[in-house]
Structure 1
Amino acid sequence: MPLRLRDDVTLVATDYGAVLLDERAGRYFQLNPTGRVAAERLLAGGDTDDVVAAITAEYDVTEERAREDLTALVDQLRQAGLAGS
């Protein structure tokens, strides 16, 4: 599940997760800590299994739930026009 942000979208870590800044639209999108882990891992070239393993190791969540949430996050980022494949 490759992920690449548009050139005018920046991921900025915060104390509460991360924020995606859309410079073109002047909007931002907040990610919770789990979303931050997922986005950072995918952007670094990790695949679905890598991200799911990182999330289940760090948070009290099942592998199935982590996969579902990861798919939903990537779909939402693409639908919002923040990311492509």
Structure 2
Amino acid sequence: MTNAIGRLRAADGCYVCELGDGAAILDTRADKYFTLNAVGRFIWEQLAQPATQDEIIAKTVGAFDVSEERCRQDVDRLLESLRLQSLVEPA
């Protein structure tokens, strides 16, 4: 579903800071923050530059001990969640 959008990037107005192994994203537009675990943080870092879902999956599989199928499910779920919160946008 998210892959059909093409290239994604982190939305303007979102700032990230380290939080242990994970990260916290501050959305200054909505005055909300969101937390990510270590894998979520890695995926978020990939969105600093426009990237496709397939590019993010390939990098995540290379960085973590996870199957491509499981990674695809998890990345799709995270990107959809970020999209619903307007934290990512088409590049």
Interval containing the TM-score (normalised by the shorter chain): 0.7 to 0.9
Moved more, 36-45 or 67-76: 36-45
Give the alignment's Cα RMSD to 1 decimal.
1.8
Query: Compared with structure 1, are the counterparts of its residues 49 and 16 closer, same or farther at alpha carbon in structure 2 (3 Å cutoff)?
Result: same
Question: 2:27 is matched with which residue?
Answer: 22
1:12-56 superposed Cα distances (whole Å, 9 cap, x missing partner) = 233221111011222110111111111211332333333222222
Unaligned stretches of 5+ in structure 1?
A: none
Q: Which stretches of structure 1, 4 residues or more, deviate above 4 A after TM superposition? A: none
Pick the aligned partner of 1:8 from 13, 19, 29: 13
* CA distance in structure 1 between the aligned counterparts of 2:36 and 2:20, rounded to whole angstroms: 11
Greater relative contact order, per chain length (Cα 8 Å cut-off, separation 6+): 2
TM-score by length of 1: 0.80
Structure-1 separation of matches of 2:27 and 2:50: 21
Closer, same or farther: CA 44–31 of 1 in aligned 2, 3 Å:
same
| 1:51 aligned onto 2:41 | no
Number of residue pairs the alignment of both structures matches: 85
Percent identity between matched residues is 35
User: How many angstroms apart in 2 are the aligned matches of 1:59 and 1:72?
Assistant: 17
| AA aligned opposite 1:46 | A
Q: Please give the secondary structure, in 1, of the residue aligned with 2:47.
A: helix
2:89 aligns with: 84
